[in-house]
Amino acid sequence: MMDNTTGLMVDGCNRIIAERNEFRNNGWALRLFANALYCTFQDNAFIGNTFDLSSNGELKENVMDRNYWDRYVGYDLDHDKIGDTPHRPLGFFALLVERIPYAMVFSRSLFVSLLDRAERLLPTLTPAALKDEHPLLRQQPWVGTFRKNEAPVPIPVRSANEMNEMDHG
């Protein structure tokens, strides 16, 4: 999902699994609404987006795990290529823009840069409901293999019902 206003909007969807997607150069990479429950996002790459994640409420029942985030600034003391500190992709400014769309005029301003730095120093400013406990430090080998002249590959998003049918059928 590249060069879109919104890469993927999950609104009212339950139990989907989104994996191995490249979210590149989007306005909003992932808009995950509060009425989407038990969704899993794993092994995705978030690169060059204005907002990696946006939401309109609590996101307690969703899981993000082992994604690559170009904004992640953690460390890897055990050298397993997985960050030792969690990444919180849902930032305060993304929440502010979701509630007050006109705030977008400040998107590339010094104010937002300072707010981002404050969020890194004081993680209590960002919502703790959704975080990637195991962020990847390097892009996956498959990232960037899509070429604009090729036909797009279908998005591998499956519902829980499809997963059950695959397991039992």
In a domain, 102, yes or no: yes
Structural domain harbouring 60: 6-168
Residue 132 pLDDT level (bands cut at 50, 70, 90): very high
Structural domains in the chain (count):
1
Residue 152 pLDDT level (bands cut at 50, 70, 90): low
Compute the half-sphere exposure of residue 63: CA atoms within 13 Å on the CB side of its CA: 12
In a domain, 130, yes or no: yes
Tell me which residue of 64, 24, 27 sits closest to 45, measured CA to CA.
Answer: 24
- pLDDT for 34 equals 86
Q: Which tokens hold the place of 120?
A: 């890194």
pLDDT tens digits, 76-131: 999 999 999 998 888 778 878 888 888 888 887 888 888 777 777 776 656 666 88
In a domain, 24, yes or no: yes
pLDDT tens digits, 2-55: 889 999 999 988 999 999 999 999 999 999 988 999 999 999 999 999 999 988
Residue 159 pLDDT level (bands cut at 50, 70, 90): low
Residue 58 pLDDT level (bands cut at 50, 70, 90): confident
In a domain, 101, yes or no: yes
Query: In what helix (H) or strand (E) does residue 162 lie, and over which residues does it extend?
Result: helix 160-168
In a domain, 18, yes or no: yes
β-bridge pairing 68-69 and 17-19: unpaired
pLDDT higher than 90, residue 134: yes
In a domain, 58, yes or no: yes
In a domain, 1, yes or no: no
Q: Quote the pTM value.
A: 0.78
E-strand stretches of the chain? 6-10, 17-19, 22-24, 28-32, 40-42, 45-47, 51-54, 63-65, 68-69, 157-158
Mean pLDDT computed over 53-79: 88
In a domain, 115, yes or no: yes
